[in-house]
């Protein structure tokens, strides 16, 4: 079996991209404030869940043992639609494109931060879209109205890095 240098280079870039995205998920856990009644007790962990294909591979290993405000981070991969309401952060993979609206609607009354890399995600009432610009830098689109509606508070440290959009804005792909 031959491995193309171009494909291994592309795989390496994608792997690095997901290490950066994992760091963003960790920082979202640090810089988002959930409503007081979100956690049943002071020891309940912050659950970062993945729905759809898992593109992160080993990248989430880098944040697995970290703590945020004395809470452990728990990574749950391959969650099903019926189990997403227990997640504090939900990363929605591109493989769930046809289910995005159902997922977002199901979490409408929950304090779950939704994150995806899907185009127009933030315009579909998703909270944060992570995406690569043409210059290969990672950028954010944030739907602040949807975040506020979920009862979440997001730090200005994140907001200064993002383009703020709304569900009513015209969805344009960068």
Cα–Cα distance, 169 to 172 (Å, whole number) = 9
170 falls within a domain: no
60 falls within a domain: yes
Range of the domain at 81: 5-165
Confirm if 85 and 107 have CB atoms less than 8 A apart: yes
27 falls within a domain: yes
Count of structural domains, the chain = 1
Give the pLDDT confidence score for residue 145 in this predicted structure: 94
List the CATH number of the domain containing 94. Answer: 3.40.50
- Please list the ranges in the chain whose pLDDT falls under 70: 1-15, 168-174
124 falls within a domain: yes
pTM for the full model? 0.87
Give the pLDDT confidence score for residue 65 in this predicted structure: 83
Give the pLDDT confidence score for residue 54 in this predicted structure: 93
171 falls within a domain: no
172 falls within a domain: no
């Amino acid at each position: 079996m031959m491995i193309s240098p171009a494909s291994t280079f592309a795989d390496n870039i994608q792997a690095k991209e997901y290490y950066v995205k994992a760091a963003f998920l960790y920082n979202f856990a640090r810089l988002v404030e959930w409503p007081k009644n979100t956690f049943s007790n002071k020891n309940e962990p912050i659950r970062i869940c993945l729905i759809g294909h898992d593109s992160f591979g080993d990248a989430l290993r880098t944040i697995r043992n970290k703590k945020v405000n004395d809470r452990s981070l728990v990574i749950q991969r391959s969650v099903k639609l019926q189990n997403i309401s227990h997640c504090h952060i939900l990363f929605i993979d591109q493989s769930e494109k046809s289910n995005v609206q159902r997922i977002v609607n199901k979490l409408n009354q929950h304090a779950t931060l939704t994150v995806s890399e899907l185009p127009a995600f933030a315009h579909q009432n998703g909270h944060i879209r992570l995406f690569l610009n043409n210059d290969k830098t990672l950028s954010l689109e944030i739907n602040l109205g949807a975040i506020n509606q979920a009862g979440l508070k997001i730090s200005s440290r994140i907001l200064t890095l993002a383009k703020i959009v709304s569900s009513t804005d015209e969805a344009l792909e960068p």
